[in-house]
Structure 1
């Protein structure tokens, strides 16, 4: 039961801005979750924390420790990236369009509605209220849309919808409340950046960009001889007037720093320290990107390289060298708007995101090569399937595409797009290198995962819509159920010929599964029956199980001795397929109930719609079953005792419909819920204005009958053959839950003498048998591995023979984990060989209970075999080359 959320697949990016932390860690929002991608190791991980709505803005501290995430409900989370824990929470009063840490990390600038707010950044010390509001500007004439900090963290540029950019000095209240204005733009400001003079390392210019594709360059002009720029370029002061208190000047000529409001170093309020307000700003150049009618939607500036990257609503991005405005690259990545564009710290990588396509790219502009290229499904994920070794996960969606993901890294490595309609079912063959898919376009296709191609297509004489798929254990027969003709079609895998058509159902066949032990096919239909078919004998339906309601899905237990099916009334029926008897029934209506739709006239407790399971999945040993449907919950039941073990809530995202149990009556009007009423005065123009002011969520996958609000639901559940993880295809994407690998105290036979000290003492006295058994009784992972490694190779047979069979499963789990990171491959393989020799008969008799551990061992061995095969293949060519060159010499 110790399954915890691990990762989110199917949608690498859905909107908001992406940030790069520590130069190689890409952090991007996915709905109400946050994903961190290591660009060097090519691994992605979704943080366990959730926001209450879709995340709109992200900001990372300069040291890479903290992350600010602001959602559509103006709620902010302060997250420790290394600990992956939420430290503090804060709610803003106005919609947040931009948020940035200062370069020194002491302050946070927030564009909240028509205000610019400066907050003190929380630290590691414990405080009752860690966020402290330092400054708040008067109302702008429009919403603040862009922020930019100066390198010395003392000035902020704030661009807004009123077409102005305001220069505010944080340390001086007078200039903060009466800022310097940069005028001249004819559209909403998208970006405002300080340019740094490389000679003086100080601020010398400002770049402002607007939505109409204009970039203005502003230079700082000294005001006569009264203003001088010091070595750092960040300070200047006029000669003291008579009566002015004497200032403390350091040896270098700079004014000494004193403590200010933020606890850091800064000049006194009385000192004329804000040199950017003391001089004059002059517009020296106007440049245009010439991409009309497309709008500028995203931009970023790299101070060290003096480069500007821009993205447009037509999918074009450009890289320009400033201040000469020289175009280095001008390329197109799609036909949809680029919603985020950013540099990494070194400036050699560019990150682009397209929310509508779910596309995330990292591009090295010097070598013109991709570092990362991921695109998720942009419609509902209908089905998932694990490979037999649990290393791969295939997903099919309403966008007609099939994607295959590597579970360990979270990356999609191949996409198949030959289907012309929604993909409804997927199935991996036992060979691990063949994938089957069924679609509403009337075809069943077989895909080769070695050559990444469609090598066989199964069709029918007349076009049908397939919604279910199954294959027998040998892989010789393929069966698919239809939505329209209520038939089951049977093909030969080798020849592709149609062998038989099974008729008898009077409704859509939404469930198909073969028995794991024989060639009996089970099918479920909306005609309220489950039928068993003998496919090879051609006898037709050999058994019919009637129900009182429509049957939605059917699944066999892994040992083939039990059949489970769910019905429209929210019940799960368990049948004995051999004797044809109903064993028992689980009533799950109350367990899956929860969540009220915006359009529901009844409360969640009284509503009867959707309270049923549409997908079922047995565990590897058949002891429990997972069930999901049109609800925010996934239920886990104990099969033997028919009790609910646990409910998994798949999301807390209030941007989705059906998450709240009780709706806010204050938002109910005569015309319906306030959230579903489209505002006529809302700025729907294409570009950034739409992203800032229109509530996100329109591009999320999911059915959208409620004016664009997707409904939370689970369409497919699959448990990995290893039993260590399971996947759920939901509105939020494909959620991966796995067993927590951290140590959980679960002793087997514990008494006063079984202690870690006793294990160490046995190892010190050269008693490997006693040490291993003691560690297995303690069930502590680190001790078990330590005892396995300490055994000499010649002693492995005697040690294995001394291990009781009840500890064998735990020992196999430890060996499978050691194969992942232990360099002693032959040593571990000898352990496995001796285990099979000594306990092979007992393992075979208890195969049902041992199956998860054996699958984990098989997964590790398969991965190592593939790695060694690739290494040997490359070494073979190298040796051939060396031999040929030596012979010539």
Structure 2
């Protein structure tokens, strides 16, 4: 039960701005979470906190220690990036349109509507109210769009939708001074930036970029300020007389009091496209701009020399930023869920990821648990590496929504079924569609499975209520199984026999003997429509879910109902915006649409049109735990209770669309563009996605499970925190006793004590302390109840430590001494054994690649030596 959220796949980017911390860590908002991508290690993970709405703005401190994440409702989280923990929270009065840390990290500028607020940056100390408001600058007449700071953190440049840019002093002066205003643009200003001299780091130029594709260059027009003690002359001296004595620091005239002159106007010439994002690198003096037609440009300033002008898509680019060194450009497209990192010097991609931009319908683990396949409404099949979180291949041959995916037992072949009437087989070596299964007349497939030999492929249909059977080798249609009177939404082969189980909306589960051709062998009647069916891993039980919210457990051999779980109250939760009653009194969606047994068959996961995924104990028929898949209020179906304050005569206040502004970025823009309010049958909840779980799969290792949800594919894994059995402890079982036993050379006693404590670091320490010659004797003394924990430790060590031969010797001796016990209890040990198999397979593949590379290199050196 000790599963915790690990990662979010299927959506690397959903809108908002992205941030590059350090040189190689990319942070991007994904719904109400933040995804972190290490560009050097090629790994991505999702930070373990979530906001109550979609995150729209991110800002990282200059030392990459802190992150400020602000959602659509103005709720901000101050995060320690190294510990991945939320330190402080604050709610602004309205959504933030721009956020930026000062170069010294002491201040944070926040654009809250028309206001600019300067906050003191919190630290690690626990304070009653950690955020302290330093200044409020109410000079803008429209929303703020961006900020830029001078290197000394003394002045702030703010661009606004009121077609102007303002230069503010950050510190309070003795006499309030007005900002200098840069005017002249004809459309809202997207970004404004300071340019400095490379040697002195003195600000002498400002660039302002507007939505119509214009970039203005502003230079300081007055003479450089005199050094202290130098007589004042000319215009510079006149300006000094206008400045109060308290406003002068070391003879400097504040930047907002000096004269700025517009010296140049340049245009990117991309009309009718609009400029949507821009960034400036101060050391390189370069500007990157992105447009609504998918084009981006890189320009050398101030000469306005175009270095690159390329197109990455046909959709609007919603973010574009430099990394710290300026050699990588990061682009994001919210509508496509696309995230790109491009090295402009070598013109090569560092990162190229695109998620599903419609709902994910199905997921499937590979037999070794190293890959995860997903299918979605965008007609695409994607295969992800579980350890890195990256998608390494996308298949787009389907012409309609993909409804089912299934890995073959050989681990190198993937099947997918679609509403376009085809079942396709994909080769994961050559990345191609090598077999396509069709029917005499077009059908819509919604269920898919294959037998364990991989010779027979079966698919269930939505419209003809039939099951089609093909041969994998020839691609020929072998049989059509008829008998169901409703759509066939569930198909699964028995793990230990050639029996096919199918579930249908005709209120039955049927067992078919596919190979003998006898048709339906057994029929299990239900009182309501059956939504899905699954086999227990040992093949001795079938679970089916019905429309009345119950899970039925059947004995497939005797054909009797073993027991039933009532799940209506467990899955109930979440009220739609159109509901007139609370979630507890609502009757909609209270049923399970997807089921999945654990690897040992002891518990079952169930999900449906709800924000909850339920875990049940199969033997006791009790609810063990409920996982809430999201707390994102930007989705429909998350709130439980009605708010009478938002009820009007015209209906709920949330459904009244009185906004007069276009939605520029994020998931709301996606749904509005896709569904549109002027189309007949548009969603009554203003296009907000409804939270649901469409598919659940547990990894064959049993240590993780995946859920295809509205937000993407949520990955949960077992938390390896400190957990021990209190009944197995006494006064002598302590970490100190383990150290004493190791010092005395009592390796058997030390290992047993560490296993009783169940502390991972102590177990591994004791394993490495054993002499290789003593491994057989120590392995023989291990009790069976600690065998699973020891195998899990070996699987973890094989993935991280270099002592491969030593660990493999341990595994060999355990199999020799406890082979009969492992065989008798294979069901309970199956998750740990599969984890070990996964680690050994992965290590074998790595060693094979290294040996092949070394062999090629040796052949090359030998041939080169003979030539010399």
Normalising by the residue count of structure 1, what TM-score does the alignment of the two structures yield? 0.93
The 1:561/1:718 distance shift into structure 2, 3 A limit, reads: same
Who is 1:262 aligned against? none
Partner of 2:660: 682
Deviation at 1:241, TM superposition (A): 8.4
How many Å separate the matches in 1 of 2:667 and 2:812? 64
Deviations 1:76-119 (A, max 9, x none): 11111111111111111123110101111111111111111111
| CA deviation after TM superposition for structure 1 residue 864, in Å | 0.4
Q: Deviations over 1:508-529 (max 9, x none)?
A: 0000011101011110000000
Partner of 1:33: 33
Cα pair 1:382 1:397 within 8 Å, conserved = yes
Change (3 A) 1:482 1:244: closer
Q: Deviations over 1:264-294 (max 9, x none)?
A: xxx8789875521332100000000000000
Q: Which residue of 2 aligns with 1:449?
A: 428
Residue correspondence of structure 1 range 68-107 to structure 2 within 5 A: 68-107=68-107
Mapped to 2, the partners of 1:863 and 1:85 lie a distance apart of 32
**Equivalent position of 2:57 in the other structure:** 57
In 2: Cα distance, 1:748 partner to 1:739 partner: 22
Q: How does 1:242-257 map to 2 (within 5 A)?
A: none
SS at match of 1:852: helix
**1: CA distance, partners of 2:475 / 2:481:** 17
Cα drift, residue 126 of structure 1 = 2.7
SS in 1 for 2:601: coil
How far off is 1:781 after superposition? Answer: 1.5
Relative to structure 1, is the Cα distance of residues 699 and 352 closer, same or farther in structure 2, using a 3 angstrom cutoff?
A: farther
For the structure 1 residues 868 and 273, does the alpha-carbon distance in structure 2 shift closer, same or farther, using more than 3 Å as the test? Answer: same
Aligned to 1:583, the other structure's residue is in SS state strand
CA contact (8 A) 2:35 2:47 kept: yes
Match of residue 823, structure 1, among 793, 802, 805 = 802
- Three-state SS of the structure 2 residue aligned to 1:690 is coil
Aligned to 2:679: none
Superposed displacement of residue 677, structure 1: 2.4
CA distance in 2, matches of 1:146, 1:804: 64
Counterparts of 1:169-318 in structure 2, within 5 Å, are 169-173=169-173, 178-223=178-223, 273-318=252-297
Task: State the distance in 2 between where 1:698 and 1:150 align.
Answer: 39
> Structure 1: how far apart are the matches of 2:761 and 2:732?
19
Q: 1:556 is matched with which residue?
A: 535
CA contact 1:145–1:158 (8 Å) conserved in 2: yes
Q: 1:566 aligns with which of 541, 545, 565?
A: 545
Say which SS state the counterpart of residue 831 (structure 1) adopts. Answer: helix
In the alignment, the residues of structure 2 paired with residue 241 and residue 538 of structure 1 have an alpha-carbon distance, to the nearest angstrom, of 99
1:15 aligns with 2:15: yes
Over the aligned positions, Cα root-mean-square deviation in angstroms equals: 2.3
**SS of the residue aligned with 1:883?**
helix
**Cα distance, 1:752 vs structure 2:** 2.3
CA contact (8 A) 2:14 2:666 kept: no
Relative to 1, partners in 2 of residues 1:696 and 1:181: Cα closer, same or farther, differing over 3 Å? Answer: farther
With 592-601 and 778-787 compared, the bigger mean Cα shift is at 778-787
Shift of 1:47: 0.7
Instruction: Tell me if 1:490 matches 2:469.
Output: yes
Q: 813, 834, 852: which one pairs with 2:831? A: 852
Deviation at 1:707, TM superposition (A): 2.0
1:875 to 846, 850, 854: 854
1:743 to partner: Cα distance: 2.4
**Number of equivalenced pairs:** 859
CA distance in 1, matches of 2:195, 2:138: 26
Secondary structure of the structure 2 residue equivalent to 1:105: coil
Match in the other structure for 2:24 = 24
Helix, strand or coil: the match of 2:725? coil
Partner of 1:406: 385
- Following superposition, the deviation at residue 180 of structure 1 comes to 1.0
CA distance in 2, matches of 1:455, 1:169: 66
Contact 2:87 2:124 in 1 (8 A): no
Which string of whole-angstrom CA distances, capped at 9 and with x for unpartnered residues, describes residues 523-582 of structure 1? Answer: 000000000011111110010000010000000011111100000000000001110000
Cα 1:601–1:244 change in 2 (3 A) is: closer
Greater Cα shift, 782-791 or 400-409: 782-791
C-alpha displacement of 1:849: 0.3
Question: What is the aligned partner in structure 2 of residue 250 from structure 1?
Answer: none
- Residues of 2 paired with 1:226 and 1:871: CA distance? 64
Equivalent position SS for 1:5: strand
1:750 CA drift (Å): 1.9
Return the alpha-carbon distance in structure 2 between the equivalents of residues 701 and 367 of structure 1: 40
**2:17 and 2:58 in contact (8 A); partners too:** yes
Contact 1:14/1:700, CA 8 A, preserved across alignment: no
Partners of 1:209 and 1:24 in 2: CA distance: 27
- Residue 682 of structure 1 and its aligned partner are, at CA, apart by 1.5
C-alpha distance in structure 2 between counterparts of 1:41 and 1:569, whole Å: 48
Q: Indicate if the aligned counterparts of 1:169 and 1:274 stay in contact, CA closer than 8 A.
A: no
Q: Distance in 1 between matches of 2:635 and 2:785?
A: 47
Residue 240 of structure 2 contacts residue 253 of structure 2 at CA under 8 Å; is this kept in 1?
Answer: no
Task: Tell me the residue number matched to 1:740.
Answer: 719
**What is the CA distance between 1:777 and its match in structure 2?**
2.0
Matching residue of 2:576: 597
Q: Which stretch shows the higher mean deviation, 545-554 or 665-674? A: 665-674
| Aligned partner of 1:353 among 329, 332, 337 | 332
Over residues 597-655 of structure 1, what are the superposed CA-to-partner deviations in whole Å (9 max), with x where a residue is unaligned?
A: 01113321221110000000001111110000000000000111111110000111000
1:837 aligns with 2:811: no
1:821-856 Cα shifts (integer Å, max 9, x gaps): 121111111111111111111111111101001000
Show structure 2 runs of 5+ residues with no match.
Answer: 677-681
Displacement after TM superposition at 1:487 (Å): 0.4
Which segment drifts farther, 781-790 or 571-580? 781-790
Instruction: Deviation per CA, 1:658-679: give whole Å up to 9, x if none.
Output: 0001132222233332222223
Q: Which SS does the other structure have where 2:310 is aligned?
A: strand
Q: In structure 2, how many angstroms separate the alpha carbons of the residues matched to 1:57 and 1:109?
A: 12
Q: CA deviation at 1:134?
A: 1.4
**Paired residue for 2:364?**
385
| Per-residue Cα deviation, 1:797-821 (whole angstroms, up to 9, x for no partner) | 1221121222211111111111111
What are the ranges of 5 or more consecutive residues in structure 1 without an aligned counterpart?
A: 248-266
Give the C-alpha shift of residue 187 in structure 1.
Answer: 0.2
CA contact (8 A) 1:437 1:445 kept: yes
Decide whether the 8 Å contact of 2:365 with 2:372 is kept in 1: yes
Report how far residue 124 of structure 1 moved: 2.2
Q: Residues 209 and 847 from structure 1, CA distance in 2 versus in 1: closer, same or farther, beyond 3 angstroms?
A: same
Checking the alignment, whether the CA contact within 8 Å between 1:843 and 1:850 is kept in structure 2 is yes
1:464 aligns with 2:438: no
Change (3 A) 1:174 1:272: farther
Moved more, 764-773 or 195-204: 764-773
1:534 aligns with 2:513: yes
Contact 1:551 1:565 in 2 (8 A): yes
In the TM superposition, residue 763 of structure 1 has moved relative to its aligned partner by: 2.1
2:755 to 761, 768, 776: 776
1:609 and 1:331 mapped to 2: Cα distance?
49
CA deviation profile, 1:671-696 (whole Å, cap 9, x unmatched): 332222223x6132xxxx73499878
C-alpha distance 214-239 of structure 1, shift in aligned 2 (>3 A)? closer
Instruction: Go from structure 1 to structure 2 and tell me whether the alpha carbon gap of 1:240 and 1:365 turns closer, same or farther (over 3 Å shift).
Output: closer
Give the match for residue 259 of structure 1: none
Mapped partners of 2:209, 2:628: distance in 1? 43
Alignment of 1:152-163 (within 5 A): 152-163=152-163
Judge conservation of contact 2:578–2:684 (CA < 8 Å) in 1. no
